[in-house]
A = this chain, B = another copy of it.
Amino acid sequence: MTEFGIGVDLGGTNLRAAAIDRDGNLLDKPINVDTNYLGGREAVIGDIVAAVNRLKVQFEGSRLAGVGIGVPGFIRLREGFITNSNNLPYLENFPVRDDIERRLGTPIILENDANAAALGETWMGAGKEVDDLVLLTLGTGVGGGIILDGKVLHGALGMAGELGHLTIDPNGPPCGCGNNGCLEKIASATAVESMAYLMSLGDNLTSRDVYHLAAGGNIKAQRIFQQMGRALGIAIANLINTFNFPLYLLSGGMLPAWDYFAPSMLEEVSRRSFTYRNSQTRIEQAKLGNLAGLYGAAYLPLQNQALHSR
């Protein structure tokens, strides 16, 4: 009998869920629901429970190892709480894990979305050949996930890997976290849009617009991506000097701009990390796109057992 996990990815605009077996096969195409986020806690939790139940029924002939849920925000692992989730404030400081577990009668593992994506890439994506990697997700913000020995590095409370808030420029733009010059104030979609505004590239340009301008040869737009690349390079050099891992991955909505930010990124890393220059460290694009979080979430319950059976 096939054993499988159910992964849930609670994204910024929609909720996805998928059943994935121990070998990494997606058992059907993922469920994708436009969640009524404005509906509040009951609506979102109801959607999660409904999606998981649909998959449980659909695959009731197989053994369900458990359910992993990737959510944006800090996770307090032991308590199963979410704290500081900008998109889902009504889920904060509520026993999300225990509540869903009770409704489903199935073990639930909560995880930060970037951690889940990092785990997914390690399991079935660009990190299949390694046990240790760092993933940076370049979207509206910048998230981070650190995989050590094939498992998510959590730290004391589960708040490790908040790499979007690494200080890159001590006197840089202010961040909502209270800091100045956080990575995500220079290397996220939002940052690219702010820079475009400040450089008078145009009003209300999206990061996609800025990308098209850069691709069309606009020097100012290209400079914005160079600046983004430089910030990423400083962050990745620091991560390499800290971890000496073999692989650093980038993913997220800004990845298509790779050709415009990667050259300055790699130049900075090379200048700022002796270790990079003296080891076979790879800096690459992630491979699973927006499925990474689903893979990682589904793998969470499978991983515990996989470890035992080794």
Contact = CB atoms under 8 A, between A and B. Distances in A.
A215 interface: no
Nearest first, the 4 A-B pairs at minimum CB distance are A155-B244, A160-B244, A159-B244, A179-B272
Interface of A is mostly: loop
Given A244-B154, A245-B155, A246-B156, A238 B178 contact: no
Given A168-B170, A170-B168, A272-B167, A242 B132 contact: no
Interface in A153-198: 153-163, 165-170, 177-180
Contacts of A166: 238, 241-242
A167 to B, nearest CB: 5
B234 A160 contact: no
Contacts of A169: 170
B165 A241 contact: yes
Interface stretch (A59-67, A249-257, A274-282): A274-282
Given A167-B272, A168-B170, A242 B159 contact: no
A303 interface: no
Interface string A210-246: 0000000000000000000010001001110111111
A275 B165 CA distance: 10
Nearest to A277: B178
B146 A179 contact: no
A87 interface: no
A201 interface: no
Contacts of A158: 244
A239 B243 CA distance: 11
B274 A162 contact: yes
Nearest to A172: B170
B170 A234 contact: yes
